[in-house]
Protein backbone atom coordinates (compact mmCIF):
# COMPACT_ATOMS: atom_id res chain seq x y z
CA UNK A 1 0.00 0.00 0.00
CA UNK A 2 1.22 3.49 -0.79
CA UNK A 3 1.53 5.89 2.14
CA UNK A 4 0.64 9.48 1.41
CA UNK A 5 3.08 11.53 3.44
CA UNK A 6 1.77 14.87 2.18
CA UNK A 7 -1.67 14.36 3.59
CA UNK A 8 -0.36 13.17 6.97
CA UNK A 9 2.14 16.01 7.08
CA UNK A 10 -0.46 18.68 6.32
CA UNK A 11 -2.20 17.76 9.57
CA UNK A 12 0.86 18.56 11.69
CA UNK A 13 0.75 22.04 13.27
CA UNK A 14 3.53 24.40 12.11
CA UNK A 15 4.82 21.82 9.61
CA UNK A 16 6.93 23.40 6.87
CA UNK A 17 6.21 22.04 3.39
CA UNK A 18 8.77 19.42 2.49
CA UNK A 19 8.90 18.44 -1.15
CA UNK A 20 9.55 14.99 -2.57
CA UNK A 21 9.34 12.93 -5.75
CA UNK A 22 7.17 9.88 -6.39
CA UNK A 23 7.62 7.74 -9.51
CA UNK A 24 4.96 5.29 -10.72
CA UNK A 25 6.42 3.15 -13.50
CA UNK A 26 5.94 -0.12 -15.33
CA UNK A 27 4.84 -1.50 -18.69
CA UNK A 28 1.92 -0.36 -20.78
CA UNK A 29 -1.51 -1.27 -19.28
CA UNK A 30 0.01 -1.71 -15.79
CA UNK A 31 -2.18 0.96 -14.18
CA UNK A 32 0.30 3.86 -14.05
CA UNK A 33 -2.22 6.46 -15.17
CA UNK A 34 -4.96 5.05 -12.92
CA UNK A 35 -2.61 5.29 -9.94
CA UNK A 36 -1.50 8.82 -10.90
CA UNK A 37 -5.13 9.96 -11.19
CA UNK A 38 -5.98 8.30 -7.85
CA UNK A 39 -3.17 10.13 -6.03
CA UNK A 40 -4.01 13.46 -7.69
CA UNK A 41 -7.73 13.16 -6.91
CA UNK A 42 -6.92 12.49 -3.25
CA UNK A 43 -4.70 15.57 -3.17
CA UNK A 44 -7.62 17.58 -4.64
CA UNK A 45 -9.94 16.18 -1.94
CA UNK A 46 -7.38 17.42 0.61
CA UNK A 47 -7.78 20.91 -0.92
CA UNK A 48 -4.23 21.00 -2.21
CA UNK A 49 -3.37 22.99 -5.31
CA UNK A 50 -2.69 20.48 -8.08
CA UNK A 51 -1.16 21.07 -11.54
CA UNK A 52 -1.02 18.24 -14.05
CA UNK A 53 1.15 18.04 -17.17
CA UNK A 54 1.63 15.68 -20.07
CA UNK A 55 3.81 15.83 -23.20
CA UNK A 56 2.02 17.60 -26.05
CA UNK A 57 2.78 14.69 -28.41
CA UNK A 58 0.50 12.39 -26.39
CA UNK A 59 -2.80 13.05 -28.15
CA UNK A 60 -3.93 9.36 -28.08
CA UNK A 61 -7.17 9.64 -26.13
CA UNK A 62 -7.57 13.40 -25.64
CA UNK A 63 -5.64 16.57 -26.39
CA UNK A 64 -5.99 18.02 -22.87
CA UNK A 65 -6.98 15.22 -20.50
CA UNK A 66 -4.80 12.55 -18.99
CA UNK A 67 -6.87 9.41 -19.75
CA UNK A 68 -6.29 5.84 -18.54
CA UNK A 69 -6.96 2.73 -20.65
CA UNK A 70 -10.10 2.16 -18.59
CA UNK A 71 -11.34 5.71 -19.27
CA UNK A 72 -10.58 7.50 -15.98
CA UNK A 73 -9.53 11.04 -16.76
CA UNK A 74 -8.30 14.29 -15.26
CA UNK A 75 -7.64 17.66 -16.91
CA UNK A 76 -4.00 18.45 -17.72
CA UNK A 77 -1.82 21.00 -19.46
CA UNK A 78 0.03 19.59 -22.47
CA UNK A 79 3.59 20.96 -22.72
CA UNK A 80 6.38 20.49 -25.22
CA UNK A 81 9.44 20.65 -23.00
CA UNK A 82 10.17 19.73 -19.38
CA UNK A 83 11.29 23.33 -18.80
CA UNK A 84 7.70 24.49 -19.55
CA UNK A 85 6.59 22.66 -16.39
CA UNK A 86 8.96 24.80 -14.31
CA UNK A 87 7.31 27.95 -15.67
CA UNK A 88 3.73 26.72 -15.19
CA UNK A 89 3.87 24.88 -11.84
CA UNK A 90 4.47 28.01 -9.77
CA UNK A 91 1.47 28.11 -7.44
CA UNK A 92 0.95 24.41 -6.91
CA UNK A 93 1.43 22.13 -3.91
CA UNK A 94 1.33 18.98 -6.03
CA UNK A 95 2.63 18.49 -9.58
CA UNK A 96 1.49 15.44 -11.59
CA UNK A 97 3.22 14.39 -14.80
CA UNK A 98 1.99 11.58 -17.07
CA UNK A 99 3.78 9.81 -19.96
CA UNK A 100 7.02 11.22 -18.56
CA UNK A 101 9.14 8.90 -20.73
CA UNK A 102 8.49 11.26 -23.65
CA UNK A 103 10.12 14.26 -21.95
CA UNK A 104 13.77 15.18 -22.35
CA UNK A 105 16.19 14.37 -19.52
CA UNK A 106 15.82 18.00 -18.35
CA UNK A 107 12.78 16.61 -16.49
CA UNK A 108 15.17 15.23 -13.87
CA UNK A 109 16.54 18.69 -13.00
CA UNK A 110 13.04 20.22 -13.21
CA UNK A 111 11.58 17.61 -10.82
CA UNK A 112 14.45 18.15 -8.39
CA UNK A 113 13.88 21.95 -8.41
CA UNK A 114 10.14 21.55 -7.88
CA UNK A 115 10.63 19.11 -4.99
CA UNK A 116 13.33 21.34 -3.46
CA UNK A 117 10.82 24.19 -3.62
CA UNK A 118 8.52 22.15 -1.33
CA UNK A 119 6.25 20.54 -3.91
CA UNK A 120 5.08 16.93 -4.10
CA UNK A 121 6.00 15.74 -7.60
CA UNK A 122 4.22 12.62 -8.87
CA UNK A 123 5.54 11.18 -12.12
CA UNK A 124 4.10 8.31 -14.16
CA UNK A 125 5.86 6.74 -17.13
CA UNK A 126 7.18 3.69 -18.93
CA UNK A 127 10.39 2.38 -17.39
CA UNK A 128 11.27 0.41 -20.56
CA UNK A 129 10.71 0.85 -24.28
CA UNK A 130 9.62 -1.88 -26.74
CA UNK A 131 13.20 -3.21 -26.81
CA UNK A 132 13.25 -3.66 -23.04
CA UNK A 133 15.71 -0.75 -22.70
CA UNK A 134 15.42 2.07 -20.10
CA UNK A 135 13.15 4.83 -21.44
CA UNK A 136 14.13 8.55 -21.43
CA UNK A 137 14.31 10.32 -18.05
CA UNK A 138 12.49 7.59 -16.06
CA UNK A 139 15.57 5.68 -14.79
CA UNK A 140 17.19 8.95 -13.64
CA UNK A 141 13.97 10.01 -11.94
CA UNK A 142 13.77 6.65 -10.14
CA UNK A 143 17.26 7.37 -8.83
CA UNK A 144 16.38 10.71 -7.25
CA UNK A 145 12.82 9.82 -6.10
CA UNK A 146 11.86 9.24 -2.47
CA UNK A 147 9.13 6.80 -3.52
CA UNK A 148 9.18 4.42 -6.49
CA UNK A 149 6.19 2.20 -7.26
CA UNK A 150 6.57 -0.42 -9.99
CA UNK A 151 3.17 -1.56 -11.18
CA UNK A 152 2.56 -4.56 -13.43
CA UNK A 153 0.02 -5.54 -16.07
CA UNK A 154 -1.23 -9.02 -17.00
CA UNK A 155 0.76 -10.88 -19.67
CA UNK A 156 -1.44 -11.23 -22.76
CA UNK A 157 0.25 -14.53 -23.66
CA UNK A 158 0.29 -16.48 -20.40
CA UNK A 159 -1.61 -14.54 -17.73
CA UNK A 160 1.38 -13.97 -15.42
CA UNK A 161 2.37 -10.52 -14.21
CA UNK A 162 3.85 -8.41 -17.01
CA UNK A 163 6.69 -5.88 -16.89
CA UNK A 164 7.36 -5.52 -20.63
CA UNK A 165 5.60 -3.78 -23.53
CA UNK A 166 5.78 -5.98 -26.63
CA UNK A 167 5.41 -4.12 -29.95
CA UNK A 168 3.30 -6.10 -32.40
CA UNK A 169 4.72 -4.51 -35.57
CA UNK A 170 8.19 -4.22 -37.12
CA UNK A 171 8.28 -0.44 -36.59
CA UNK A 172 11.70 0.56 -35.31
CA UNK A 173 11.26 4.12 -34.11
CA UNK A 174 11.42 4.53 -30.35
CA UNK A 175 8.37 6.79 -30.14
CA UNK A 176 5.25 5.25 -31.66
CA UNK A 177 1.94 6.08 -29.99
CA UNK A 178 -0.53 3.24 -29.69
CA UNK A 179 -2.73 1.03 -27.59
CA UNK A 180 -3.86 -2.63 -27.76
CA UNK A 181 -3.65 -2.70 -31.57
CA UNK A 182 0.08 -1.91 -31.41
CA UNK A 183 1.40 -3.28 -28.07
CA UNK A 184 0.85 -6.17 -25.68
CA UNK A 185 1.81 -6.39 -22.03
CA UNK A 186 4.11 -9.40 -21.60
CA UNK A 187 5.99 -11.15 -18.79
CA UNK A 188 9.78 -11.50 -19.14
CA UNK A 189 9.55 -15.06 -20.55
CA UNK A 190 6.90 -14.29 -23.18
CA UNK A 191 8.60 -11.00 -24.13
CA UNK A 192 12.01 -12.53 -24.84
CA UNK A 193 10.55 -15.69 -26.44
CA UNK A 194 9.21 -13.58 -29.33
CA UNK A 195 11.71 -10.70 -29.24
CA UNK A 196 13.96 -10.72 -32.28
CA UNK A 197 16.98 -8.45 -31.62
CA UNK A 198 17.78 -8.34 -35.37
CA UNK A 199 14.24 -7.34 -36.33
CA UNK A 200 14.26 -4.71 -33.60
CA UNK A 201 17.82 -3.43 -34.20
Ligand X SMILES: Cc1cn([C@H]2C[C@H](O)[C@@H](COP(=O)(O)O)O2)c(=O)[nH]c1=O
Ligand Y SMILES: Nc1ncnc2c1ncn2[C@@H]1O[C@H](COP(=O)(O)OP(=O)(O)O)[C@@H](O)[C@H]1O
Residues acting as catalytic residues: 99
Q: Select from 32-40, 129-137, 138-146, 193-201 the region that touches ligand Y (CB under 6 A).
A: 32-40
136 to 175: interface string for ligand Y, x by CB under 6 A: -----------------xx-x-------------------
Annotated ligand binding at 32? The verdict is yes
Tell which one of 1, 14, 70, 197 touches ligand Y (CB under 6 A): 70
| Beta carbon nearer to ligand X, 15 or 171 | 171
| Beta carbon nearer to Zn ion, 27 or 68 | 27
Q: Which residues of 173-198 are buried (b: 16+ CB within 10 A; e: fewer)?
A: eeeeeeeeebbbbbbeebbeeebeee
Strands of the sheet containing 147-151, edge to edge, are 77-79, 50-55, 94-97, 120-126, 20-26, 147-151
Q: End-to-end CA distance of the chain, in Å?
A: 39
| Beta carbon nearer to ligand Y, 22 or 93 | 22
CA 139, CA 108: separation in Å to the nearest integer?
10
Of 137, 129, 193, 138, residue with least CA distance to 164: 129
CA 107, CA 85: separation in Å to the nearest integer?
9
Task: Report the relative pairing of strands 147-151 and 77-79 from DSSP bridges.
Answer: unpaired
Annotated ligand binding at 28? The verdict is yes
185 touches, from ligand X, ligand Y, Zn ion, none (C-beta below 5 to 8 Å by class): ligand Y
Q: Which residues in 65-104 contact Zn ion (CB under 5 A)?
A: none
Of 75, 22, 81, 37, residue with least CA distance to 55: 81
| Beta carbon nearer to ligand X, 174 or 189 | 174
What minimum distance in Å lies between the beta carbon of 124 and ligand Y? 7
Annotated ligand binding at 31? The verdict is yes
Interacting residues toward Zn ion by CB under 5 A: 155, 157-158, 160, 187, 190
Which residues line the annotated binding site for Zn(2+)?
155, 158, 187, 190
Amino acid sequence: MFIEPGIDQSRLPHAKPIGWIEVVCGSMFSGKTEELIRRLNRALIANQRVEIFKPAIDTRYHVLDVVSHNANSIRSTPVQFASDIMLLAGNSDVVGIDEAQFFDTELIAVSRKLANAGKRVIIAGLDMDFRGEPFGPIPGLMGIAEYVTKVRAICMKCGNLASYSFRLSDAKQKVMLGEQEAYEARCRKCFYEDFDPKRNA
